[in-house]
Amino acid sequence: MNPSAPDLPLRHDEAIARAALLDVLGYDLDLDLTTGAETFLSRTVLRFRGKAAGRTFVDLKPVSVASITLDGSEVDVDLLDRGRLPLDVTEGEHELVVRSVMRYRNDGEGLHRSVDPADGRHYVYGMSFMDAAPSVFACFDQPDLKAPYTVRVHAPQDWIVRGNGRAEEVEPGVWQLATTPPLATYFVTVVAGPYHLVGTEHDGIALSLSAKQSLTGRLEEQAEDILRVTGQSFDELHRLFGVRYAFGDYHQAFVPEFNAGAMENPGCVTIRDTLVFSGRPSRAELVWRAALIAHEMAHQWFGDLVTPRWWDDLWLNESFAEYLGNRVAAEATEFSDAWVEVAYGRRQWGLTADLRTSTHPVAGNGAVDAPSALQDFDGISYAKGSSILAQLDATLGDEAFFGGVRTLFEQRRFGTIELADVVAAWEQASGRDLGATVQQWLRTSGPDVLELDRGAGVLRRTPPAHDPQADRPHRFTIARATGAGWRFEDVVLDSPQAPLEIGADDVVVLDPRFDTWASTLIDDTSVRGLVDLLPGVEDELLRAAVWNNVRSSVHQGRLDPALAVDLAEASFPVEDTGATGRRTLAWVLEWLLPLAPAGSRERLHRAVRTILDAAEPGSERQLSAFRAAVATATDAADLRGWLTAAPAGIAIDTEQRWKLLVRLATLGAVEVAELDAALEAERTDAAVVEHTRARASLPTAEAKEYAWARFTGAVEVPNYELEAAGLGMWRGGQESVTDPYVERYFAELPATAAVRSGWVLALAAEQFFPASSVTPATLALAERLRDDPELPGPLRRRVSDAVDDLARRLMILQRYPR
């Protein structure tokens, strides 16, 4: 056993060989969480059948191993090497028993343990996704070796326990979880701690929620809305799928320091507890939560009931859940505007990923191992795949689309699938050959570019530069504004160009209903016309389409950022200032303003203040305008004034207070002592994270060293604090204190692989990249590191994406000097 050597990732060829050699019959797990705050005891009884004699291995990542037996005979624990225990298997049934000490983690993976700063209580949850399960129990860790699980948990007597099977406290502090249907290893979870519970029942399914004790009041206030969305989503998914939910009780655990939005563990979904909102939520945030709830519920069928055989078909999980989650939220809940939220919050995420050199097909991305697959867990797998599924559904019709899906659920129940299985089911249900559709849309990477050539009077379709033979037909609408108002026209573009009669001053917006997947551009004449027209546009999808066209055009260097600022000044997208980082306000702040002429931030702030002053107190528009006003403020006196007396209708709750303090910190208008005092006055987990962001945002050498110590691992912090430090580190206008860290980033990034792994390793690389240093010298350093063959894959992917973004910014600045 060599604890210092890095664990070996599971390769696809190894997974194929292992699946051919054995079947897994079941797991009995016993987890003892009473032994301290650093480690826990794990006992695994793993029963499997050898199909033939051969050599394989079990995945295990312990602190130490007490004993291992195979069929009652001792196995040398020192055989464990880099996360693998070799096994010689004979034909027939076997039983492996492993007793080990495991480490709690604080990076959102494995068995994560956190301490609530509000009251000092400890909370635990399991996140076994991708390759984290072996840090909890011994297993054959690959998605196609599904098996039933029986779990027993020993916990402090004031804790409650939930998991994939119904939990019963059989004696004080001892919980027995009901045996599950066959699950993939990456779905196995346990949620344990002094959580507050809320429960009800819907259509014969026991529904429950849990969150930390410090969130009790907020969970109780929001539970009715969450459970209503859950019940409505179950009804609609049962109607669409025609197959009942298969995993017993349905528990949604709102847990701290969670990396993703949520995880679809069958019967026990884990969700980041920031979605139990600490302040007044915007409409966008409520829509996002509803769609996320429905997304994870859709996974109970696509992902859980039928599971991708290997990670290269991860899209079968995420694209389906993304499409169904948004559709169900829009059609079955009060959030009929869910597709507007998708248009603002998700589409550009997918398009940006699809335009990078790291683009990959939606399906069959060829992941050679599990960590490589994690790098493709991106906007292509979610947003692009969802868009293409919506196109397929529109083409086939619901009867054939869901008819094929039902066939899969019935024939592969608790089994595994791959792309060919899904396509065959659709072809059988529809009577159509989908070969060309699959090849062009699911197996071809990169988006086409659609644009109006006003001078030539044509619509143009340009395929991706890396695949000029791509020949994808597009069916969509255009919105045209003339003197007579707006009208919508259907368009089929199945050749490189098609004629379009256009008036000299007509304003044209491409694909305002998001019917196709493409990077749609907007011409200068249309943008100039929209300066007058957009303030009067009430069609929410059309407004979203305008901003998608503008964003894509700026990104590709086809629209002067100054024109985009003119449009934002005339009609600032305050309808799109929700908390998610992919929305238009974040783009304006992080992308547009650094590329725009001097004084643009002040212009936009004045425009937002006009909206704020005119908004009805307490309205959604007022809340959104206030958030935008804080984010664009350059006068510390304004921010100080709002801290003392906010506009009527705005409550300065925890969330708004820290938004003000972070902005003051960025301007250098607050001292560390004041930030510390604000934290001590209300020491919640959200306040701790925002305090870190504010400290790192200060324009001082001490602040940047504070952030850097978290990047290098010299100071260990949980995942949310690490991310906040990175986001605060590189603030525009602070180059005098950040420039010394530019070369240090590229020199010291590789060593971070020794202090963190998985999701958080890549996240830190992305958030600490010197994005505010938009210079050719920084680009050269980034390219050199990207091309270093010794750089670990997760780091290379994040650096590669940052290189693309930086090169794009430099191209825009060269084309449109400020």
**Catalytic residues, which ones?**
296
Expressed in percent and rounded to 5, the helix, strand and coil fractions of the chain are 45, 20, 35
d(CA 196, CA 253): 10
Q: Which residues pair with 209 in a beta bridge?
A: 198, 252
Residue found by looking up tokens 């929001």 in the block: 222
Going 338 to 581 to 251 to 324, the CA torsion angle's sign is: positive
- Dihedral sign of CA atoms 261, 266, 267, 268 in order: negative
Cα first-last separation, the chain: 59
Helix pair angle (740-748, 701-712), 10° resolution: 0
Task: Kindly write down the DSSP assignment for every residue of 751-814, as one continuous string.
Answer: GGGGT--HHHHHHHHHHTS-TT--SHHHHHHHHHHHT-TTS-HHHHHHHHHHHHHHHHHHHHHH
CA distances to 616, 688, 808 from 149, rounded to whole Å, are: 55, 37, 49
Across the chain, how many H-helices and E-strands are there? 30, 28
Strand (E) or helix (H) holding 153: strand 149-154
DSSP type of residue 646 = P
At 714 the three-state DSSP class reads: coil
Q: Please state, in angstroms and rounded to a whole number, the distance separating the CA atoms of residues 185 and 142.
A: 7
CA-CA distance, 781 to 135, in Å (whole number)? Answer: 36
Q: Which residue, among 155, 105, 110, 112, has the nearest Cα to 130 in the 3D structure?
A: 110
Residue type, 608: V
Amino acid (1-letter code) at residue 817: P
The residues, any chain, with a CB within 8 Å of residue 598's CB and separated by 6 or more, are 818
Rounded to whole angstroms, the Cα distance separating 112 from 132 reads 11
Between the alpha carbon of residue 544 and those of residues 32, 254, 477, 547, 548, the distances in Å are 51, 30, 14, 5, 6
Q: Beta partners for 56?
A: 87
Write out the two tokens for 584. 């238009």
Residue written as tokens 């693309």?
A: 804
Burial of residue 235 (number of CB atoms within 10 Å: 0-12, 13-18, 19+): middle
Pairing of strands 190-193, 160-163: antiparallel
Closest CA to 450 of 441, 459, 458, 442: 459
Residue with tokens 């701690």: 193
What kind and span of H or E run contains 712?
Answer: helix 701-712
Residue 563 tokens read as 């024109």
- With tokens 């049962």, the residue in question is 238
Distances (CA, A) of 99 to 38, 40, 77, 108, 334: 17, 11, 10, 24, 50
Please name the residue that has the structure tokens 């028993």: 97
Nearest partner of 190 among 268, 299, 135, 133, judged by Cα: 268
β-strand partners of 595 = none
Residue 49: how many CA atoms within 13 Å on its side-chain side?
7
Tokens 């179950």 belong to 234
SS (H, E, C) 73-117: EECCHHHCECCEEEEEECCEEEEEEEEEEEECECCCCEEEEEECC
Residue with tokens 């949310």: 720
Handedness of CA 582, 586, 590, 596 (dihedral sign): positive
Question: What is the Cα–Cα distance from 324 to 401, expressed in whole angstroms?
Answer: 12
